[in-house]
Structure 1
Amino acid sequence: MKQLGFLAMLLSSFGLWAQIRVDDTTYSVEELVRDILVDSNCAETSNYSSKTGSAEGLNGIGYFQANGTDFPYEEGIVLSTGRAKLAEGPNVDIHDSGSETWAGDDDLRAITNSDALYNASYIQFDFVPYADRITFNFLFASEEYQENFQCVFGDVFAFILTDSKGVSKNLAVIPNSELPVRVTTIRPGVNEECLPRNLEYFDKINDENSAISFHGQTKSFTAESKVVPGDAYNIKLVIADNRDSQVDSAVFLEAGSFTLGADLGENRTVEDGNPMCIGETIVLDATAQGVSDYRWYKDEVERVEWAGLSKVDVAESGKFSVDVGFSTSCVANGGLTLEFILPPQIMSPPVSLNFCDVDATGKQVVDLTVNSELILGGQDPKIYQVTYYLSEEDARAFKNAIGNPTAYELSNASETVFVRISSGNSCYEIATFELKLLGIDFRSELQEEYVLCLGADGETLEPLPVLDTGLSTSVYSFAWYRGELSPENKIADASDASFTASEAGTYIVQLQNMELGCEFSLAARVFVSPRAKVFEIDFVSDPFAENTTIDIVAEGDGNYLYSVDGLDFTSVNRFEGLSAGEHTAYITDAYKCSVLSKKFMVVDFPRFFSPNGDGVNDTWSIINVPQMENPEVTIYNQYGMLMRQLSGNLAWDGTFNGGAAPSNDYWFRIEYTKDGERKEFKSHFSLKR
């Protein structure tokens, strides 16, 4: 292992792990904009300016190359709140190269509503577009994606586009929102500190082999905006530290991604939730001022019949694109994907649903989706969706759908539900059905839980639990389900008021009041209580102890209760003070499905005997001596004279050398084996005549 570690360190020292390269000295701001970022003849750029930490000896603006790494962009511009050169990987330390004397930016503060900005770097230029749409690609990276910084501190940047009327907007926002991209708006989250936010836009936390030196980075974004061809615009690309001047962040802009093109609109596909329907026609409009030629393509093949047209009508699926020629050196382009599907149909009309107010609360949680299968029929649910609404206006507008139609709270005696089938926001059909909430006098005997008893090998034991509603079959119809209330979970031929369960699980009975037609469901849980697999008696105390103690040992998957000699069951498995003789140990599960028993013997000795021939206490021996291993008993008188030796279950009749031994106290010693070890016990007893 040491050799491998040395090899890895050696290879690392020779630059095996590739990182991006940053040049912060070669390029002027004009070159960065004109030759790196824009690199297009479809816009006139001018009035280039920039600002960074030059007064502090720090340059936050530079040109970068991917240098063979997995960084998403091959080359481009980096703007940093610290020294741009420090963006080079790997990520082995924390960069903190700014200072409070390096000022923030007022335009950034205003457009992002951020306070306390420091260490601003920006590039700014004017441009006049020939096309009607601009786009460029970027990603954000920061050292603040560590510890709990992401919960509080959010370095911020903006791409501020200002038109000829002085109206500005920020293009560096999270898609479909106005939120600026920053650490606090896109983050993986920190346990017990802050939750993840917009996690789908966060890319990764970087390690010591990363291409850049920042702790975390977002995914690539596309900034875009419509513009008016021929109008003058200004754009300011600016980043700054927020709330303190510590810990660097950066934004990377992809070279050549500042493009001007024709906006044909968004894709119209099932995946994007807005496909076209067969029979519809969509107009693709690439009209722009100063255009000399239009060339259209479907699936990368030119449609020569559309040459020169600024608008075309499309009624078929495919990938469509257009080249918009402003001059021989300026050709903008745009494209989209169209998918045409069969218009949806309501295969069977939805049925009105009656529900029962079983608890007299005036409310009932109901499932509206029982109508979905009727409406869908055999149509593909991956393409067509059924959604539910409380107004026709919402259903047609495809907004304000009922959020959880499987658990809708019905609170009115009667309601009308509007149901829509469509593929997202595309062509659709609408139908209605009625909901009614009917009050009934209802009492059920169904319990919340039942126990299923199991044997030691997992077999079910009789009697099986009977889930009994206690309701009349002349008033209600019954359908039983195991698991969720769905067709595939319905139990065949289970239509009685009760059901005998042979498996654990949740059981649901769907009831219908046959007079009113209303439906509702009840649920019960069946759980198992298994018999013990191991049942043993463990003597805690040694033989002849004054306080004989045992543990009853039960092993299995259940909870068990214990008893000795038929006493009340208890959860404590230790029993003390047991007398000499035979006893019976019992175990049962917590629900007393079955009782197991096992006999055991407590070894002791009589404290006296009276060999007078009356048949009572005529001999002396160890009680239950067969329970001992290899016992040997030696009896002495008070002077230490050997009186008798016993082995096995032999007894002393009180004689010595053919005569009667006198009344007196006698001593004994017993040797026996326990747990492989030879042990000894001594005590005394009385002989009475």
Structure 2
Amino acid sequence: MNTTIKILCFLSTILTFGQNMIVDSQSFTAQELIENILIDSNCIDNVTVTNVVGGNFSSSDQSYGFFDATGTTFPFDTGIVMSTGRLSNVPGPNTTLSDDDAPNWTGDTELETILNETNTTNATILEFDFTSVATEISFRYIFASEEYQEGNPNTCNFSDLFGFLIRPITGTQYTNIALVPGTNTPVKVTTVHPEIPGGCPAENEAYFESFNPSDAPINFNGQTKILTATAQTMPNETYHVKLVIADEQNFRYDSAVFLEAGSFRLSTDLGPNLLIESGNAICGDGTYTIQTNEPGTNNTFKWFKDGAELIGEINDNLEVSETGIYSVELTKDTCVLFGEVTIEYTENPIVFDSILVECALNLNGLAFYNLFDSNDEVTNNDSSIFISDFFLTAGDAEQDINAIVGANNFENSNTFQTVYARVENQANCYSIAEVELQVTNNTIFIPALDACDGAIVDGFADFNLNDITSAIADQLPVDATVTFYASEMDLSTETNNISGTFQNTIPNTQTLFVKIESNNQCNSISIVELIVLYTPVLLEDESFIYCLNSFPETITLIGGVLNDAPNNYYYEWLFNGTTTEVNTTFNDINEVGNYTVIVTDPNGCSSSRTLTVLPSSNPVIEDVIIMEGTQNSTVTIIASGDGDFEYALDNPDGVFQTENTFTNVTAGFHTIFVRDTNSCGMTEQVISVLGFPKYFTPNGDTYNERWQVKGVNADFNQGTAITIFNRYGKLLTQFTNESAGWNGTLNGQPLPSDDYWFVVTLLDGRTFTGHFALRR
């Protein structure tokens, strides 16, 4: 059965199928696929398939074979497909992931070498030899891949690999002809794709066809446009071709390359495609001549536009003047060579002449211009065109030579000078617009702007530049813009403009330059003085004490102006945040709280300080806690009142302590003193500390003649009962706090030296016992 009959039989079996591609891995041998399906020329001889590699699947499936897409939206009707997965997973719809592997399916080192890649796997390879009589061969193909993932950054990072490698049969160095047109870049997912938001910008987008929907005729997520692989050959020399595609890194996410049936043929180069997207389309109404560079007298030519023959066009070149796909069939020595080129036309930019008005910094008629300020008027705000450069002459603009350097800060050489803008579009088509440079010497008066110095008086302050704009509003044209610059150089170059709140960089006084523009034209240039006003310098915040016990007496607070006469300022006093009626340099007060004084000079600059008045008072002794009757008696004073207190015992002129407890206090009568640390007064009180002498000496020398409890008298510890016993418990005497004490006798007779015992009972129920010695 010949190949034509095979194809007819194959087609007859698919008429009942839907609009998806059909594949066949069994009807054609590899030799038939190359010699009878791919190649369409009787001038390509000695076609011999030398090597075939594919996936070793358990079924009869393969990774390459014949495809038929007749009646579908796929650009090729028939051809050969090579995949990194099962052939049966190539047809649509695009609803499953082609993600196949097979045992011992390795990659290809020659593909890795020529693409400078590593770690390929699942390589499908068709290798063959051929001999051509022409100087050029070509064939058309489409690359498709599951690794095209719309909106997914993986598209930027991962791609399977393929190559169409060719070399002379006697050579060893391959050339890869599966390249992005006009480049040496291999076609891959990562080199041909649109912009991936959040991932990467577009690369060679002109050659990307689409991300495929679910009802696509092939089961791959995306594909390129039709691309042409072209190789230069020596007539009658045998060449070796290696068609190879492989997964990279792992078997995941398969890819495929589709080769159009009959497209491997002799070709003639008609030059590059001239496309708007590529930036080399034909501009305006110009003409373009397509050359075959095959002027032989025995050669014959047929020219076509968009597939229709151009009757009468039989020369070796064709002059065109409109967009179209132009092709040629060149018959040369009975061999037919084919060539095709796409020519697109685009309009030259529509431009408008413009006038730029700039303000002269002096009266010589010269000014600095940002020539690009004319862009909106020249292009009429058309964002698809742009000014590429400016030129001093129209001739230079036409030839695109001697462009003005520094066009954003160009100084005119004479009044009413004209420069020329070259305006281009994406296809590099251009038009020339005239820009007339005019000069104005307008100025307006701008009053100085004052600002008060800050808390630190250093000559620097914040200025609200919007106040300047408001002050001159009645002098401004409609829709004017006001721009401020700190230096004349910044003004001339229109750089480092300032706005909003500005702190002067030169202390005390600084000049700013003001440019006023309307409709992108300079209206006037003026200056404005920034003046930093003196701010009152005051004493630091302070704290004061008011003795509450001195009310209604007053203390005086002062505004605290330094280095000037206080009467040169205005005063406002606030008490606890509320304004008072006091407006003098001082404030007599008798109430505690926070007093704030705002001191304002005649220019309206003010400073403030806060004076905090804290309470204090004469202390009140609320209680005295006495631990008595021991060798280490203590006295603790409980005092109340505003303020801080300190304490002394017996000596008001001695040392006071901050602790309110005294230790080791001797028995007897004492005076305690409590005073306010802020000198708001002192309180005193007499106290009694009980104590019991350890001995007495009734020997008639008038010293220590009687034994009596210390700390008792008619005023303290009244009703105290004292009972004396000898060591045997015999009652010797009884007396009270009002007594002079025991004289050491019993019934008028002196008792001997010995230890005697006592019991002291207080009215509050406390009882103290102990003993003492009588010594004679």
TM-score (norm 1): 0.50
How far 1:256 sits from its partner (Å)?
1.8
Distance 1:279 1:264 in 2: 18
**Of 234, 239, 246, the match for 2:245:** 239
Distance 2:120 2:211 in 1: 25
Which residue number in structure 2 is paired with residue 275 of structure 1? 282
Distance 1:316 1:267 in 2: 15
* Residues 78, 251 of structure 1: 8 Å contact kept: yes
Distance 2:303 2:57 in 1: 53
Which residue number in structure 2 is paired with residue 25 of structure 1? 26
SS in 2 for 1:223: strand
Which residue number in structure 1 is paired with residue 111 of structure 2? 108
**Of 125, 129, 138, the match for 1:126:** 129
Total equivalences in the alignment: 442
**Of 154, 163, 170, the match for 2:159:** 154
SS in 2 for 1:157: strand
SS in 1 for 2:479: strand
For each residue in 1:628-672, what CA deviation from the matched residue of structure 2 results, as whole angstroms up to 9, or x when unmatched? xxxxxxxxxxxxxxxxxxxxxxxxxxxxxxxxxxxxxxxxxxxxx
How far 1:334 sits from its partner (Å)?
3.2
* Residues 56, 103 of structure 2: 8 Å contact kept: no
Question: Can you give the 5+ residue segments of structure 2 that lack an aligned partner in the other structure?
Answer: 1-14, 362-366, 448-467, 482-515, 527-776
The 1:56–1:289 alpha-carbon spacing in structure 2 relative to 1, beyond 3 Å, is: farther
Amino acid at match of 1:48: V
Q: Indicate yes or no: 2:37 matched with 1:36.
A: yes
Which residue number in structure 2 is paired with residue 478 of structure 1? 477
* Residues 42, 332 of structure 1: 8 Å contact kept: no
How far 1:159 sits from its partner (Å)?
1.8
The 1:302–1:195 alpha-carbon spacing in structure 2 relative to 1, beyond 3 Å, is: closer
**Of 336, 339, 349, the match for 1:334:** 339
**Of 60, 64, 69, the match for 1:61:** 64
Amino acid at match of 1:24: S
Distance 1:28 1:144 in 2: 30
SS in 2 for 1:153: coil
Which residue number in structure 1 is paired with residue 261 of structure 2? 255
What RMSD over aligned residues (CA atoms) do the two structures have, in Å? 5.6
For each residue in 1:22-60, what CA deviation from the matched residue of structure 2 results, as whole angstroms up to 9, or x when unmatched? 212222222111211122224335232333235666732
Distance 1:478 1:472 in 2: 8
The 1:512–1:161 alpha-carbon spacing in structure 2 relative to 1, beyond 3 Å, is: same
The range that moved more, 94-103 or 27-36, is: 94-103
How far 1:240 sits from its partner (Å)?
0.6
* Residues 478, 512 of structure 1: 8 Å contact kept: no
* Residues 120, 246 of structure 2: 8 Å contact kept: yes
Matches within 5 A, 1:199-598: 201-206=207-212, 209-214=215-220, 216-225=221-230, 227-228=232-233, 230=235, 231-266=237-272, 273-275=280-282, 282=289, 284-287=291-294, 292-295=299-302, 304=312, 307=314, 309-310=315-316, 314=319, 322-328=328-334, 330-334=335-339, 354=358, 366=370, 368=372, 370=374, 387-388=388-389, 410=408, 419-420=421-422, 468=470, 470=472, 473=475, 478-480=477-479, 509-510=518-519, 512-513=521-522
The 1:247–1:414 alpha-carbon spacing in structure 2 relative to 1, beyond 3 Å, is: same
Distance 1:44 1:25 in 2: 25
How far 1:64 sits from its partner (Å)?
1.2
Distance 2:185 2:25 in 1: 30
For each residue in 1:315-348, what CA deviation from the matched residue of structure 2 results, as whole angstroms up to 9, or x when unmatched? 86686654311244x3224355778999999986
Distance 1:76 1:318 in 2: 29
Percent of pairs with identical residues: 29
How far 1:470 sits from its partner (Å)?
1.3
The range that moved more, 111-120 or 290-299, is: 290-299
Distance 1:118 1:149 in 2: 19
For each residue in 1:558-580, what CA deviation from the matched residue of structure 2 results, as whole angstroms up to 9, or x when unmatched? xxxxxxxxxxxxxxxxxxxxxxx
How far 1:419 sits from its partner (Å)?
3.0
The 1:121–1:293 alpha-carbon spacing in structure 2 relative to 1, beyond 3 Å, is: same
Distance 1:281 1:125 in 2: 39
How far 1:195 sits from its partner (Å)?
6.3
* Residues 56, 102 of structure 2: 8 Å contact kept: no
Distance 1:427 1:205 in 2: 31
Q: Which of 1 and 2 has greater Rg? A: 2
How far 1:183 sits from its partner (Å)?
2.8
* Residues 316, 338 of structure 1: 8 Å contact kept: no
Higher relative contact order (CA 8 A, sep 6+): 1
For each residue in 1:263-297, what CA deviation from the matched residue of structure 2 results, as whole angstroms up to 9, or x when unmatched? 33346688975427778774734417795433557
Distance 2:80 2:283 in 1: 40
The 1:194–1:44 alpha-carbon spacing in structure 2 relative to 1, beyond 3 Å, is: same
For each residue in 1:244-278, what CA deviation from the matched residue of structure 2 results, as whole angstroms up to 9, or x when unmatched? 23332211222122243333334668897542777
The range that moved more, 180-189 or 384-393, is: 384-393
Which residue number in structure 2 is paired with residue 183 of structure 1? 189
How far 1:63 sits from its partner (Å)?
0.9
* Residues 80, 248 of structure 1: 8 Å contact kept: yes
The 1:287–1:479 alpha-carbon spacing in structure 2 relative to 1, beyond 3 Å, is: farther
Distance 1:281 1:227 in 2: 25
How far 1:120 sits from its partner (Å)?
0.9
Distance 2:401 2:117 in 1: 33
* Residues 153, 198 of structure 2: 8 Å contact kept: no
Q: Indicate yes or no: 2:80 matched with 1:77.
A: yes
SS in 2 for 1:35: helix
Distance 1:251 1:411 in 2: 54
The 1:217–1:442 alpha-carbon spacing in structure 2 relative to 1, beyond 3 Å, is: farther
Amino acid at match of 1:256: G
SS in 2 for 1:478: coil
The 1:27–1:479 alpha-carbon spacing in structure 2 relative to 1, beyond 3 Å, is: same
SS in 1 for 2:330: strand
Question: Can you give the 5+ residue segments of structure 1 that lack an aligned partner in the other structure?
Answer: 1-13, 358-362, 446-465, 483-506, 519-689
Q: Indicate yes or no: 2:146 matched with 1:143.
A: yes
The 1:145–1:437 alpha-carbon spacing in structure 2 relative to 1, beyond 3 Å, is: farther
* Residues 19, 217 of structure 2: 8 Å contact kept: yes
* Residues 371, 410 of structure 2: 8 Å contact kept: no
Distance 1:125 1:48 in 2: 4
Amino acid at match of 1:250: A
Distance 1:101 1:391 in 2: 70
How far 1:371 sits from its partner (Å)?
6.5
* Residues 56, 102 of structure 1: 8 Å contact kept: no
Distance 1:24 1:399 in 2: 60
* Residues 192, 205 of structure 2: 8 Å contact kept: yes
For each residue in 1:373-430, what CA deviation from the matched residue of structure 2 results, as whole angstroms up to 9, or x when unmatched? 66x99xxx9999864258999966769999xx9xx98256679976335787788776
Distance 1:38 1:391 in 2: 58
Distance 2:297 2:226 in 1: 30
Amino acid at match of 1:118: T
How far 1:123 sits from its partner (Å)?
1.6
* Residues 91, 213 of structure 1: 8 Å contact kept: yes
The 1:202–1:100 alpha-carbon spacing in structure 2 relative to 1, beyond 3 Å, is: farther
The 1:217–1:17 alpha-carbon spacing in structure 2 relative to 1, beyond 3 Å, is: same
For each residue in 1:138-196, what CA deviation from the matched residue of structure 2 results, as whole angstroms up to 9, or x when unmatched? 22222334576534431111222335776644332334443322233345677756666
* Residues 156, 239 of structure 1: 8 Å contact kept: yes
For each residue in 1:218-262, what CA deviation from the matched residue of structure 2 results, as whole angstroms up to 9, or x when unmatched? 133212336246154433221111122333221122212224333
